[in-house]
């Protein structure tokens, strides 16, 4: 293998740049030519492919977002789109790919590999932490800390006004951000897509809490089956039926996707990036390079996207015990 390319795809996450840097520098260190594909699968289809040098990735390790840009490509979902992408890779002589992204990215990579056989190693880049095959994903730690900082600030004003706050965090299908920011931020309740929340329990707990605390924080993952934070607030407010209580909703939204990556994210990203290149050279073909129990592990894309990564049981227990 002489030429490889790297791209970022799907929702960006802090640490993607550190990962790109590690891929580029490891590839050059190993004597490979390395190319950057801009705007993910869209750029692969449109031929936005450029040779990268070591200096191309200088001064990016600390930056959020992705210098390669990102996109969610509809065209890549079509056989015609994938054929165009393949032709562009062949025109550049690219023999291996490193795909940095989440489940959508790996779904595309798996299909592309099955059709055209270009070896592809994935690096887990998503704030959601919802990928099987790695303890943490690149960007999760930063996103949790961003959410935590916001929760701390909201806690100040909630306490000053004796208010009940519903704070919506990201996590379309997974509650990892909600649970960790909830534990760290001392939330009274956390609602996640993985478990059904009985709103009567929330109401009961708010009634009990009122005896000991005047303000409350309820963290709601955006994908919760009871609805978004606004809907949940309205339902709980109606059930609680206490006009003396003041309810507020804050949706944290895309601030969770930006910002300088934490040290943990930069190190994880660098490690996955280096391992992805080493994995390609070692003959791995359709695997994600993740870190499990401190060790780099290569997991087939089919498992990364097909198997469920469960919330940590102790975290859920902690939420219950610590919120009394
Ligand atoms: O997958 C990462 C994520 O940030 C989810 O938590 C969120 O639901 C989604 O991306 C938002 O995507 P978009 O960038 O399309 O708004």
Q: What is the pLDDT of residue 165?
A: 97
The CA angle 207-208-214, to the nearest 5 degrees, is 75
Domain ranges of the chain: 3-139+261-306, 143-257
In the set 12, 46, 87, 128, the catalytic residue is 128
Q: DSSP state, 78?
A: S
Q: Which of 66, 72, 172, 229 to mutate to test the pocket of ligand 1 (most atoms within 8 A of CB)?
A: 172
Residues with CB under 6 A from ligand 1: 11, 102, 126-128, 170-172, 222, 257
Q: What is the pLDDT of residue 210?
A: 64
Q: Which architecture, in CATH terms, is 143-257?
A: 3-Layer(aba) Sandwich (3.40)
As a whole number of angstroms, the distance between CA 223 and CA 229 comes to 10
**290 assigned to a ligand binding site:** no
As a whole number of angstroms, the distance between CA 224 and CA 196 comes to 8
135 in catalytic set: no
In the reported structure, the alpha carbon of residue 148 is separated from the centroid of ligand 1 by a whole-number distance in angstroms of 18
Kindly report the number of other CB atoms within 10 A of residue 294's CB atom. Answer: 7
Of 261, 287, 257, nearest to 272 by C-alpha is: 287
**179 assigned to a ligand binding site:** no
Q: Could you identify the residue written with the tokens 């806690």?
A: 155
**222 assigned to a ligand binding site:** yes
Q: Confirm or reject CATH 3.40.50.300 for domain 3-139+261-306, answering yes or no.
A: no
Q: What is the pLDDT of residue 244?
A: 87
Over the chain (324 residues), what is each successive 10-residue block's mean pLDDT? 98 98 98 98 98 98 98 96 98 98 97 97 98 98 98 96 96 96 96 94 83 85 94 96 93 98 98 98 97 98 97 93 86
Q: Check if 3-139+261-306 and 143-257 are the same fold.
A: yes
């Amino acid at each position: 293998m002489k030429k490889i390319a790297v791209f970022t795809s799907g929702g960006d996450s802090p640490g993607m740049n550190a990962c790109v840097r590690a891929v580029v520098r490891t590839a050059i260190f190993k004597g490979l030519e390395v190319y950057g594909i801009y705007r993910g699968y869209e750029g692969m289809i449109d031929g936005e492919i450029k040779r990268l040098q070591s200096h191309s990735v200088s001064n990016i390790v600390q930056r959020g977002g992705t210098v390669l840009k990102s996109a969610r490509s509809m065209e890549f979902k079509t056989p015609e789109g994938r054929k165009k992408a393949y032709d562009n890779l062949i025109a550049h002589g690219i023999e291996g790919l490193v795909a940095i992204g989440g489940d959508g990215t790996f779904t595309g990579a798996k299909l592309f590999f099955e059709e055209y056989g270009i070896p592809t190693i994935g690096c887990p880049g998503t704030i959601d932490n919802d990928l099987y095959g790695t303890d943490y994903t690149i960007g999760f730690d930063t996103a949790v800390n961003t959410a935590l900082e916001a929760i701390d600030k909201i806690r100040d004003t909630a306490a000053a006004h004796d208010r009940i706050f519903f704070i919506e965090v990201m996590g379309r299908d997974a509650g990892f951000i909600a649970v960790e920011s909830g534990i760290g931020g001392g939330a009274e309740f956390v609602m996640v897509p993985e478990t059904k929340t009985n709103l009567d329990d929330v109401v009961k707990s708010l009634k009990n809490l009122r005896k000991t605390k005047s303000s409350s924080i309820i963290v709601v993952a955006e994908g919760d089956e009871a609805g978004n934070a606004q809907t949940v607030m309205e339902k709980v407010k109606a059930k609680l039926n206490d006009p003396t209580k003041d309810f507020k909703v804050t949706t944290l939204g895309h601030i969770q996707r930006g910002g300088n990556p934490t040290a943990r994210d930069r190190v994880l990203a660098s490690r996955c990036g280096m391992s992805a290149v080493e994995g390609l050279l070692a003959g791995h073909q359709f695997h994600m390079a993740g870190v499990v129990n401190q060790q780099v592990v290569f997991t087939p894309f089919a498992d990364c996207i097909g198997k469920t990564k469960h919330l940590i049981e102790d975290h859920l227990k902690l939420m219950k015990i610590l919120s009394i």
